[in-house]
Chains A and B, each alone.
Chain A
């Protein structure tokens, strides 16, 4: 199953390497959101620095929606859904592969955004271990929930508008947990952040498990 998953993840990443949609569109969008926050919240009053954790994760969440849409737009053209169904790949492996590719792209994006907040919001990146662990756990949760809702909305004509409505409320716990953990890390009190990191891990575990079970029936709807 892991070999199948690696196959799917490799395929998605190879397409991204050649088409560069995430690189040329999603990543600039995420940075743009950071700039928009600066316009909305006066940068001279120190609000940006204080609100870094929340703004950062809102930017990640919005970018996740785009990345998920892209990930399933890949599968929806030219008879690809049929090809995927006939490929004999384990649906759970397809889910894991899509999730892994999505997670990897999101992690790169998050690193970019961290550099962005450090430069643009002059935030000092304290507590690197907690920051990294939070990014990992939150990304796994976002990618697995994103994959699951991505396939749920895939193949529908209204998927662009439906996906955010379905996905964003579901990942509210990730936003809460990741923001609190980041706040603790940036404030120099990582001890308070680790339990939130645990919550993120639980969220990710639940969605990975549910996705592996539910992807089989949903793959028929791609």
Chain B
């Protein structure tokens, strides 16, 4: 991807494309995230105590909660990017939405997996039709649908327009699903085990907080890179025809 120097490569070529997705800023964030992750491992697995009721399973919380927060942040950014693209029609917002959806799906999957792993020892089963679990699973499907729509070959502007409406719809639909699923489940059974009134140990609270900070750093780092990859992909796509023409011309000259 180093050779994106074609002068007439579309609207994005004038911005001066980077040769790779790393930069000083992203490296600093990456190092902080990596260092934080090591510290989190130490705190989560060694220093923090196990829970009186949940035992060792409580350690999953230090991954589960940050992943869930990252998931919400990404969905928020997806909505923001989609809405702003519809307003401004600048490619940056579309690329932001694409990157957020990708990273968001990863964190949604992580939230689901860690939640299920925690559910097995705590509830005895991997899956219960709990309101939050169901809503999160639906979010994963919605994001997968959004990304599938993005993958369909289409003209850039056309794809951005469809994706922006679909992205907004994900955000519009989420509260509807959450509300209906919540109501559906609470009609049938009481809310599942609540741990809110349990006193949280100071070290546990700190580890959880550290997890959130590290989770957000990782999110930002992933978003930066996915944003840049998507941006470069778009540029390659926009410059594709011109480059192919130039190559064919060069071949013709050599042949002559």
Q: A residues engaging B (CB < 8 A)? A: 148, 152-153, 156-158, 162, 165-166, 169-170, 172-173, 176-177, 180, 199, 202-203, 206, 210, 214, 217-218, 220-221
Contact = CB atoms under 8 A, between A and B. Distances in A.
B55 interface: no
B180 A166 contact: no
Contacts of B138: 169, 172
B148 A162 contact: yes
Interface in B218-249: none
Nearest to A164: B145
B145 A165 contact: yes
A148 B166 CA distance: 10
A214 B165 contact: yes
A162 B162 contact: no
A185 to B, nearest CB: 15
B152 to A, nearest CB: 5
Interface of B: 86, 138, 141-142, 144-145, 148-149, 152-154, 158, 161-162, 165-166, 168-169, 172-173, 176-177, 179-181, 183-184, 187
Contact of A221 (B141, B161, B177, B184): B161
B172 A206 contact: yes
Nearest to A168: B141
Contacts of A176: 180-181, 184
Given A176-B180, A176-B181, A177-B180, A170 B173 contact: yes
Nearest to A161: B148
A169 B165 contact: no
B152 A180 contact: no
Most buried by B among A152, A170, A218, A220: A170
A56 B152 CA distance: 33
Contacts of A206: 172, 176
Given A162-B149, A165-B148, A169-B145, A180 B165 contact: no
17 contacts: A148-B165, A148-B169, A152-B162, A152-B165, A153-B149, A162-B152, A165-B145, A166-B148, A169-B177, A173-B179, A202-B176, A206-B176, A214-B168, A217-B161, A218-B162, A220-B158, A221-B161
Task: Give me the 6 closest cross-chain CB pairs, A-B, nearest first.
Answer: A173-B180, A169-B141, A166-B145, A165-B145, A176-B180, A176-B184
Contacts of A165: 141, 144-145, 148
B162 A170 contact: no
Looking at chain A's contact residues, the main secondary structure is helix
A156 B154 CA distance: 8
B172 A166 contact: no
Nearest to B178: A173
B185 to A, nearest CB: 10
A130 to B, nearest CB: 16
A218 B180 contact: no
Contacts of B144: 165
Contacts of A202: 176
A220 B165 CA distance: 13
A214 B141 CA distance: 22
B180 A152 contact: no
A218 B165 contact: yes
A183 to B, nearest CB: 10
B138 to A, nearest CB: 5
B37 to A, nearest CB: 32
A149 to B, nearest CB: 8
A13 B173 CA distance: 30
Contacts of B161: 217-218, 220-221
A220 B142 CA distance: 24
B59 to A, nearest CB: 32
Contacts of A169: 138, 141-142, 145, 173, 177
A210 B180 contact: no
Contacts of A156: 152, 154
A170 B142 contact: yes
A217 B152 contact: no
Nearest to A217: B161
Nearest to A192: B187
A199 B183 contact: yes
